[in-house]
Amino acid sequence: MNAFIDFFAHLTSLQKFVWIVGLLVVFWLLEGAYPLRKFKYDKWQHAFTNFILLSTTIVINVLFGVATVGIFSWLEVSGFGLLNMVDLPIWVELILAVMLLDFLAQYVVHFMLHKVRFMWRFHMVHHSDTNVDVTSGTRHHPIDYFMRELFSLLAILIAGLPLAYYLVYRILTVLFTYFSHANIQLPRALDKTISMVFVSPNTHKFHHHHEMPWTDTNFGNIFSIWDRVFGTFVYHDTKDIVYGLDILDDGKANDIIYQLKVPFAYKKNSSGISTQIIKEE
């Protein structure tokens, strides 16, 4: 187990990049062989928009990585955090660390991104995708992703995580993000079995439905248990899902300028109140 932890503690930037690209390629190929939906769209044009947003995510990751180096060193020296208060087997600590990070840095912040109006403005960009596939997992407005990283930092401090545990979590997060967004058809029984504990492809697709109440369900990334515990889990027929958002212009789902402007687009209604109206009439 120590060798496993040591491997993640010394992951290079190249290894992390290869993991990201490798998963994108694998799920891209699986989408072609076993598609859940047969989209009539330019897959490369769609991916280009999402990869531009991925580039901003990578930059933010690098900046946060530099900023947190000192924090991990301080945690190691100070003994601050929940995991430093107990003496548990490494494998137990690792599972608890991943679960805490998934809860705070995924479920909680994701729930807030939907419920806090200011945060929702930026998260809409992720939901504006009308052709959800593996590249949709890379589609985040820079400020959306920045807020997510702040919650990751909070989880690191609360738990007193060592760097290696955090990197294991990040590797798993990338895997489940691309797995859950991928346009792949799993046998329904298998998908439903996976969804008992983890977020399956079908599970997350309901979250990308264009209307409430499904839009505000299935907030988890790795574990589905948070949604089950807090009553935000749904599972129905994927044929009923329509991707996108009913308040956005579907025709501009791949317009990167439009997407970056979405959080700041407002009009005055008849009462003179500033409301968000993005769809052109």
Computed on alpha carbons and rounded to an integer, the radius of gyration of the chain in Å comes to 19
The pLDDT, as a whole number, for residue 270 is: 41
Q: Could you give the 3-state DSSP secondary structure of residue 129?
A: coil
Q: How far is CA 12 from CA 16, 17, 60, 71, 149, in A?
A: 6, 9, 17, 19, 20
The pLDDT, as a whole number, for residue 246 is: 85
pLDDT exceeds 50 at position 86: yes
The pLDDT, as a whole number, for residue 268 is: 42
Q: Could you give the 3-state DSSP secondary structure of residue 243?
A: strand
Beta bridge partners of 267: 275
Q: How far is CA 90 from CA 102, 106, 161, 213, 272, in A?
A: 18, 23, 12, 40, 59
User: What residue ranges do the domains of the chain occupy?
Assistant: 46-275
Q: How far is CA 250 from CA 113, 159, 222, 241, 242, in A?
A: 21, 41, 29, 15, 11
**Token pair recorded at residue 63:** 């900046």
Mean pLDDT of the chain: 90
Strand residue runs (E) in 43-175: none
**Whole-structure pTM value:** 0.90
Q: For residue 213, is the peptide bond before it cis, meaning its omega torsion is within 30 degrees of 0? A: yes
183 HSE (CA, 13 A, CB side):
22
> What is the H or E stretch that residue 267 is in?
strand 267-268
pLDDT digits 0-9 by tens, 15-69? 989 999 999 999 999 999 999 998 888 999 999 999 999 999 999 988 888 888 8
Q: CA-based angle 64:127:118, to the nearest 5?
A: 60
The pLDDT, as a whole number, for residue 257 is: 93
pLDDT exceeds 90 at position 204: yes
Query: What whole-number distance in Å separates Cα of residue 52 and Cα of residue 214?
Result: 28
Q: Could you give the 3-state DSSP secondary structure of residue 268?
A: strand
Mean pLDDT throughout 147-152?
93
Q: Is 183 exposed, middle or buried (0-12, 13-18, 19+ CB in 10 A)?
A: buried
Closest to 126 (Cα-Cα) out of 102, 155, 147: 147
Query: What whole-number distance in Å separates Cα of residue 45 and Cα of residue 86?
Result: 50
